[in-house]
Amino acid sequence: QVQLVESGGGLVQAGGSLRLSCAASGRTLSRYAMGWFRQAPGKEREFVASITWSTGMTSYHDSVKGRFTISRDVAKNMVYLQMNSLKAEDTAVYYCTARSLTSATYDYWGQGTQLTVSS
């Protein structure tokens, strides 16, 4: 089992920045990929970004490329999502997730943290 706890959400003006944090525990993460998903009201949950814990390789949804940066702190077992140039359409509940590198699906989820971007 992997336990994930997000923090850092809040209200920010369009054009602003915010950093989300995710504290991970329970397993050695070297065999996992960590991700951020989001779900806006009335919409399906969508992939935002991911990072492979061991290599640091990252992947992003096209809508956030160049604005969001995912990173991890191996020593602290933390995953971060730095969000810049925020837009109203980034408003959503953001979830930290984890999947085993042998799995095609994200099996572990945090409780989510709300980001609201005011225009």
Tens of pLDDT along 66-88? Answer: 999 999 999 999 999 999 999 99
Q: Which amino acid is at 1?
A: Q
CB 86 within 8 Å of CB 17: yes
Q: What is the 3-state secondary structure (H, E, C) of the chain?
A: CCEEEEECCEEEECCCCEEEEEEEECCCHHHEEEEEEEECCCCCCEEEEEEECCCCCEEECHHHCCCEEEEEECCCCEEEEEECCCCHHHCEEEEEEEEECCCCCCCEECCCEEEEEEC
pLDDT at 115: 98
pLDDT at 26: 85
Structure tokens at 26: 């329970």
C-alpha 70 chain-centroid distance: 7
As a whole number of angstroms, the distance between CA 61 and CA 77 comes to 23
pLDDT mean values, one per 10 residues, the chain (119 residues): 95 98 91 97 97 97 98 96 98 97 94 97
